[in-house]
Amino acid sequence: MIYKSINWFALVGAIIILLLLPISYYFPWWQLIIGENLFQVNTSPVNTHFSFMAVQLNIPIIWAMNVTGLFIYIASGVTLLIYALMPKKTYSIDLLGFAYRKPLYSVLLYLVGLVVTTLLINSFVDLNIPVMGTSTVNLPQGLSMGVNVEVVVYSAFQWPFWLALAAAVICIIARIHHPRISRSTQQTTMS
Amino acid sequence: MRALMNKVRLSLILLTIAITITPITVVILQHQDNLLEIVLPPEIVDPPTKDTIDGNNSNSSSDGFLQDLDKAAPRLIGEPKFDPKTNTITIDFEVTNPLKTPITLNIIDGAIASHEDGTILANVVIDKPLTIDPAKTAEITAVAQLTDSAKEYLRTHVNSQNEINIDIQNLKLNVAGINIEIGKQNIGNITVPAELLV
């Protein structure tokens, strides 16, 4: 029975991770809108767009991090796919060990990066940008030449973020499920 | 078998290192002349202005976005007109959009006051939204209802050229979703229509 020798959780995880690549490129994980699209941030681990007054801003360090994110997702997805189809090979545990943690680490690092960046901006520029939700931000008087400037800021996690979180959870389940497959292989061999 | 496992393990470790280091190395090498550009691209240091939109980079301002907003502050054009039937005074302003994107002025609310002693002469309200295309100038007509005490004040406080120095106070603008409140801005001398001084 070929289907019994497949780690289905890993297969589903791998498919979601590989699907997440184009999805995360075109749809952000997190979005920030200031004013009526005056300043907009669309971000995911594989693509980040800053738009200021309809002008696209490219920050090279973020571009490099996105390329790293892209490669990590490709490597993780492909490795997990190979493992899922051949979980009984002697080196399969190495493939699984390489692949299953990366989606979780990506989500956690992304989340930590987002929260830390927001907190730093809030503390250094004295703004109140929410990680999630809507708030009214008053520009510090020093920045606005004594003029009172008030702006509505909206930010929210988008559905690809929750899909990435689901992929990370499925990958962990795939790791938990691995000993069962190994055991069934041993039992088959012994019988 | 163990050799194969070691090879796989080593390959995966090398792959992780390559994935992590290569992109950042490429970026550093690309910007080795000015490493600050890695985190602060030129567009952030010098945002787009009217000059850059017009293609005239020689006068490109490095004063920044808020200075450009300052340039967009309403400017008085022509002379105020008084309509004795409705007891209103009409003042025309022009506003320039210095940005690369259309802006919508949603609400304008403020008061016209004497520069000399701050006496409120009229309230100005414009509640019709106005969209201004990039680098274009639009005219805004403010209609102010004059009170009897304001008319009396104008009669007694105009100078020899029938002029009075006025301020706009508590000017509230909503531009592209941003609420801007300017406490006081001097407009300068305006000629008081002769009908008001009778």
| Partner residue facing B27 (CB), from A64, A143, A151 | A64
* Mean pLDDT in residue range A182-186: 66
The span from the CA of B25 to the CA of A61, in Å, is 10
**Which residue in A has a C-alpha nearest to residue B6's C-alpha?**
A91
Is residue A28 predicted with pLDDT exceeding 90? Answer: yes
The span from the CA of B32 to the CA of B158, in Å, is 64
Strands (E), chain A: 30-34, 39-44, 47-52, 55-57, 133-138, 148-157
Q: Which residues of A57-95 are buried (b: 16+ CB within 10 A; e: fewer)?
A: bebbbbbbbbbbbbbbbebbbebbbbbbbebebebbbbb
**Which residue in A has a C-alpha nearest to residue B73's C-alpha?**
A147
Give ∠ CA A32-A62-B53 in degrees, rounded to 5.
70
Say what the pLDDT of residue B121 is: 85
Is residue A161 predicted with pLDDT exceeding 80? Answer: yes
Chains A, B: CB pairs < 8 Å: 112
- Mean pLDDT split into 10-residue runs, chain B, 198 residues: 80 90 92 84 57 44 49 70 78 75 75 87 75 81 79 82 83 78 79 76
More confident residue, B174 or A186: B174
Q: Are B1 and A90 in contact (CB under 8 A)?
A: yes
Query: CB distance B1–A144 less than 8 Å?
Result: no
Say what the pLDDT of residue B85 is: 79
Assign residue B174 a region: left if phi > 0, alpha if psi is -120 to 50, beta otherwise?
A: beta
pLDDT in tens, A96-126: 988 999 999 999 999 999 999 889 888 887 7
Any chain A CB within 8 A of the CB of B176?
A: yes
Say what the pLDDT of residue A163 is: 96
The span from the CA of A109 to the CA of A95, in Å, is 22
pLDDT in tens, A124-140: 877 788 899 998 887 76
- State the amino acid at position B65 in one-letter form: F
Query: CB distance B183–A146 less than 8 Å?
Result: yes
